[in-house]
Amino acid sequence: MIDKDAIARTRIIPVVMLQDAADAVPLARALAAGGLPLIEVTFRTAAAQESIRRIAGEVPEAVAGAGTVINAAQARQAVDAGAQFLVSPGFLPEVASAASELGVPLYPGVATGTEIMQALAAGLTTLKLFPAETVGGVKAVKALSAPFPQVQFIPTGGVSLSNLADYLSQPAILAVGGTWMVGKELIAAKDWAKITELASAAVAKAKEVRP
């Protein structure tokens, strides 16, 4: 299973929505080739579980996780398919309990102090700030970090190459989640080379901030 150190090394987690599980393996290989081996496959499509299964079974250089996990049943389905981490858009005790029972890390979405306190009460200290730009972006991270210095954030939602450096320069930010390198039009076109190129550019930008 992945840990915080692995996320800190990568610093960028592509958030992928796959309509066809046949795209999972070439997409994962393209991202890994560009230096982004951690992949969050959102559980918003019928192809999600099989996509995770294929990445886990056929792309050893990549690590698949499941995103948009909103209940315990989805958590179990994702881990059964090979997901090594779980991400949710909000905090729900039943998902946190399931993740703990399954032995995988969960990064729940938070946007307020109340949600952060609920997550902390469940023993979680690495949290997804979501939707990051909508709730204040870097300013929100700075504001929330003051009363919660023990929390590290993974902002997702509105993060792009243009503001990547602003986010990664914040000490409280462990990594970011983003979709700009895995746009649905690129996946539909099966433009794996472009995806690798965009992943490489993201990694290069991240290294400018934290070599």
181/175 Cα distance (integer angstroms): 15
The CA-based angle 103-40-191, given to 5 degrees, is 150
Take residue 39 and report the two structure tokens written for it: 């992949």
Q: How many CB atoms within 10 Å of residue 145?
A: 17
DSSP, residue by residue, 168-180: HTSTTB--EEE-T
Catalytic: 128?
yes
Helices (H), the chain: 4-10, 24-33, 48-58, 72-81, 93-102, 113-121, 137-145, 164-168, 184-188, 192-209
The answer to whether the CB of 67 falls within 8 A of the CB of 42 is yes
Is 197 one of the annotated active-site residues of the chain? Answer: no
Catalytic residue among 50, 128, 139, 184: 128
Both tokens assigned to 194: 């472009």
Beta carbons within 10 angstroms of residue 193's beta carbon: 12
Active site residues: 40, 128
